């Protein structure tokens, strides 16, 4: 995404539903400005949580929430480079013609081009040498930038070939997909939606034409194309609501508040697995109440440890579906936030377990309810197993809600753009989110490994699991024992007024809603969901 740096995690552990807000906003936190602290002038010993060995730590992040003196501590090993760092060129037109760019074509190493015509139509005579596959490579990179084709819908290819040719797309992660087999006279419109499940269309580097034999190939047309316009969206409003007991006790107030704000959806926390039958029966009856008012009610649940303990949730969903009988359940929304686990980001199995949990819940619903998942915006630039994590989630579910908590419309659109574009291509509805409740100011301190002891601000003892921050002074060489030295690399502050409408008015929120509804044109834009209903009602009118 343009114009942002993400910090994964960064909130103190909290358990009550009323405090979920702090955790949720941290998931999509933006570095807002430099925060100038004086140099370390005091000694502080901090214990490192968790069981992970601390032998390969390269970075330590300290997160201070509000006035709390003890930070949350996140340790990281050596980070693998993320290739998606604003390195793609995004065409602005509805069509990108590649057939005129013959100069970008090169034969594969195992081939010889005996005849090349570099004007349209492009004529290639490829002679296979040896037993390896042979063909041509069409570079899509310009000035070291990959090609962003996520906004296109189809790949147009037209021409003739003397022998079958396999066409492949390759991205910056070296993932590739077979786009089509070209045989004889061909005139094809290849949908990009299915290819987007295999390659990152934001980072295409090559089109490869591969053959098992000699081939005489003529390309009359090779272009990416998109419809001139999508159907205009019809977005709605929704509210998260965590206090299911209040909703059960006074459902009319919940419905009235929603209708007054013209909302069409409420996402309500599921009861606890140990709640009585009376509470569960009353919760199930809420679906008929909301339906009569033309409001969708979604069952809401989730917690970070659910990726290892999904069974209680599945039991709750089975219980709810049983109570619903033949009545259809509109939907279920998962809000898991696995990045809040202590092992993140070092434990590279966390996202595997996260995706497996989504699959398990999807299977447990047996098609009786839509599945929605809440994700932070930075999942679109988090590459997991050569795939953007946001896209892997979207491939599995019926819709997503993006934690796009910002008070500026341009920022909301910027951090959500890739997810909206992928949703438009894959036909997955996307909700964006606004925050209305109070947040704590967060201060982040990033320490990086330092081998010059004179520059160190702290020392990590991996055996005792302690981090000691102390004034700069001459210390013994770090090579003399097991300790590791660190220096403060940068300090930042996360200001709540940039993320939340707390302290402002309902009219401010309504203006933001009107602005976003007018500016977001993707047909899959489902609407805006507000965190949360009590927070919004607490704003001044």
Angle, alpha carbons 274-279-284 (nearest 5°): 115
Omega before 222 within 30 of 0, i.e. cis: no
Phi, psi of 83 (to 5 degrees): -70, -20
Q: What is the reported pLDDT for 3?
A: 28
Q: What is the reported pLDDT for 480?
A: 58
Instruction: Tell me what the pLDDT averaged over the chain comes to.
Output: 87
Secondary structure letter of residue 37 according to DSSP: P
| In the predicted structure, residue 86 carries a pLDDT above the cut 60 | no
| In the predicted structure, residue 61 carries a pLDDT above the cut 80 | yes
pLDDT tens track for 227-237: 766 678 899 99
Which positions ≥6 away from 124 have C-beta within 8 Å?
105, 113, 115, 116, 117, 136, 209, 215, 216, 217, 218, 219
Class of domain 236-437+501-538: alpha beta
Q: What is the CATH number of domain 95-225?
A: 2.60.120.260
pLDDT tens track for 403-433: 999 999 999 999 999 999 999 999 999 999 9
Q: What is the reported pLDDT for 477?
A: 56
Q: Which two tokens stand for residue 267?
A: 């996402």
> pLDDT over 70 for what percent of the chain?
86
Q: How confident is the model at residue 11 (pLDDT cuts 50, 70, 90)?
A: very low
Which positions ≥6 away from 527 have C-beta within 8 Å?
235, 236, 237, 238, 264, 265, 431, 432
Domain assignments of the chain as residue spans, ordered by start = 17-84+440-494, 95-225, 236-437+501-538
Determine the length of the chain.
541
Q: What is the reported pLDDT for 302?
A: 96
| In the predicted structure, residue 12 carries a pLDDT above the cut 50 | no
Query: CA torsion sign, 131 to 137 to 143 to 146?
Result: negative
Of the listed ranges 13-22, 56-65, 131-140, the least confidently predicted one is 13-22
Q: What is the reported pLDDT for 80?
A: 53
| In the predicted structure, residue 22 carries a pLDDT above the cut 60 | no
Separation of alpha carbons 131 and 129, rounded Å: 7
Which positions ≥6 away from 173 have C-beta within 8 Å?
83, 200, 203, 383, 386, 387
- Which of the two residues, 128 and 117, has the higher pLDDT score? 128
- Which of the two residues, 108 and 10, has the higher pLDDT score? 108
Strand partners, 187: 158
Pairing of β 525-531 and β 236-241: parallel
Query: CA torsion sign, 305 to 306 to 307 to 308?
Result: positive
What's the rounded mean pLDDT across residues 438-458?
A: 92
pLDDT tens track for 243-300: 999 999 999 999 999 999 999 999 999 999 999 999 999 999 999 999 999 999 999 9
User: What's the whole-model pTM score?
Assistant: 0.86
What's the rounded mean pLDDT across residues 332-343?
A: 93
| In the predicted structure, residue 68 carries a pLDDT above the cut 70 | yes
- Is the separation of the CB atoms in 28 and 377 below 8 Å? yes
| In the predicted structure, residue 74 carries a pLDDT above the cut 90 | no
Q: How confident is the model at residue 470 (pLDDT cuts 50, 70, 90)?
A: confident
């Amino acid at each position: 995404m343009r114009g942002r740096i993400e910090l994964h995690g960064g909130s103190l552990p909290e358990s009550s539903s009323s405090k979920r807000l702090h955790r949720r906003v941290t998931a999509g936190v933006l570095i807002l400005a430099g925060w100038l602290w004086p140099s370390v002038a005091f000694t502080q010993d901090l214990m490192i949580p968790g069981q992970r060995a601390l032998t390969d730590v390269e970075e330590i992040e300290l997160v201070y929430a509000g006035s709390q003196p003890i930070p949350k501590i996140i340790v990281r090993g050596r980070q693998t480079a993320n290739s998606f760092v604003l390195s793609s060129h995004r065409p602005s037109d509805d069509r990108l013609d590649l057939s005129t760019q013959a100069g970008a074509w090169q034969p594969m190493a195992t081939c010889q081009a005996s005849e090349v015509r570099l004007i349209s139509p492009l004529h290639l005579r490829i002679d296979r040498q040896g037993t390896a596959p042979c063909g041509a490579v069409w570079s899509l990179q310009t000035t070291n930038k990959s090609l962003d084709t996520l906004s296109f819908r189809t790949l147009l290819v037209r021409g003739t070939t003397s022998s079958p040719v396999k066409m492949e797309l390759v991205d910056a992660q070296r993932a590739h997909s077979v786009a089509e087999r070209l045989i004889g006279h061909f005139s094809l419109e290849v949908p990009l939606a299915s290819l987007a499940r295999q390659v990152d269309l934001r980072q295409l580097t090559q089109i490869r034409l591969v053959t098992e034999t000699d081939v005489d190939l003529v390309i009359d047309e090779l272009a990416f194309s998109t419809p001139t316009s999508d159907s205009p969206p019809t977005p709605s409003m929704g509210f998260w609501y965590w206090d299911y007991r209040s909703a059960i006790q006074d459902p009319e107030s919940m419905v009235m508040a929603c209708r007054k704000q013209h909302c069409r959806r409420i996402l309500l926390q599921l009861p606890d697995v140990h709640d009585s039958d009376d509470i569960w029966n009353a919760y199930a009856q809420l679906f008929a109440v909301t339906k009569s008012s033309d409001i969708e009610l979604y069952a809401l649940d989730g917690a970070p440890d659910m990726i290892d303990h999904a069974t209680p949730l599945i039991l709750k969903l089975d219980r709810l579906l049983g109570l619903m009988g033949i009545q259809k359940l509109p939907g279920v929304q998962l809000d898991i936030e696995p990045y809040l686990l202590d092992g993140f980001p070092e434990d590279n199995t966390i996202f595997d377990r996260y995706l497996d949990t989504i699959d398990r819940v999807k299977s447990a619903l047996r098609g009786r309810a839509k599945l929605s998942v809440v994700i932070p915006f930075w999942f679109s630039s988090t590459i997991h197993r050569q795939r953007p994590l946001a896209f892997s989630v979207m491939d599995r579910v019926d819709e997503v809600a993006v934690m796009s908590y910002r008070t500026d419309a341009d920022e909301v659109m910027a951090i959500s753009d890739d997810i909206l574009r992928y949703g438009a291509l894959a036909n997955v509805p996307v909700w964006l989110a606004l925050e209305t409740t109070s947040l704590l100011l967060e201060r982040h301190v990033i320490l990086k490994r330092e081998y010059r002891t004179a520059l160190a601000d702290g020392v990590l003892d991996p055996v005792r699991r302690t981090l000691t921050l102390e004034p700069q002074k001459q210390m013994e060489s770090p090579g003399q024992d097991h300790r590791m030295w660190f220096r403060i690399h940068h300090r930042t502050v996360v200001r709540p007024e940039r993320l939340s409408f707390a302290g402002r008015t309902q009219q401010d929120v309504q203006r933001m809603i009107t602005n976003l509804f007018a500016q977001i044109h993707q047909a899959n834009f489902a609407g805006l969901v507000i965190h949360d209903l009590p927070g919004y009602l607490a704003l001044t009118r």
